[in-house]
């Protein structure tokens, strides 16, 4: 009896720990997804020597266009190391209509962007 009780107790403790780990994992995922739009908030846990994101600096990336609506382009992009961004799908605003001319959903693209506040502005986008 005693052994059974101990065994049950140990199982429930184990699943309790697993739930905590799962929750930590989900919270971490939520933070990294949020990090792309508001990169500054993701720096809380970063080391002090992390590069400071300067306005006007140009970053480059590659990805697949998910949709184009006016000057808004949603791109499933790969990691962008200069911004410490993970791969993700997010909207970008093109600097002008000409920059997205001929770009359509499904295109594999290379692009450059600058950060303007919380907005990511595409300065160029070209089909690969
Ligand atoms: Cu992103």
Instruction: Report how far ligand 1's centroid is from the alpha carbon of 46 (Å).
Output: 18
Pairing between β-strand 108-116 and β-strand 88-94 as defined by DSSP bridges:
unpaired
Instruction: Report how far ligand 1's centroid is from the alpha carbon of 97 (Å).
Output: 21
Residue ranges of the chain with pLDDT lower than 70?
Answer: 1-55
What's the confidence (pLDDT) of residue 30?
47
Instruction: Report how far ligand 1's centroid is from the alpha carbon of 83 (Å).
Output: 9
Instruction: Report how far ligand 1's centroid is from the alpha carbon of 16 (Å).
Output: 34
pTM metric for this prediction: 0.60
Instruction: Report how far ligand 1's centroid is from the alpha carbon of 124 (Å).
Output: 16
Domain ranges of the chain: 1-50, 58-127
Among residues 69, 71, 72, 88, which one has the least CA distance to residue 80? 88
CATH 2.40.50.320 given to domain 58-127? yes
What's the confidence (pLDDT) of residue 56?
74
């Amino acid at each position: 009896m005693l052994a059974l009780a101990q065994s049950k107790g140990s199982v429930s403790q184990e699943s309790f720990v697993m739930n905590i780990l799962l929750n930590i994992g989900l919270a971490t995922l939520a933070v990294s997804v949020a990090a792309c739009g508001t990169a500054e908030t993701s720096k809380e846990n970063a080391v002090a020597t992390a590069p400071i994101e300067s306005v006007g600096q140009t970053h480059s990336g590659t990805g697949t266009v998910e949709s184009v609506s006016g000057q808004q382009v949603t791109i499933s992009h790969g990691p962008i190391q200069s911004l410490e961004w993970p791969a993700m799908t997010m909207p970008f605003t093109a600097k002008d209509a000409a920059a997205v001319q001929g770009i359509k959903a499904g295109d594999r693209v290379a692009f450059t962007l600058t950060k303007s506040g919380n907005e990511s502005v595409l300065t160029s986008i070209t089909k690969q």
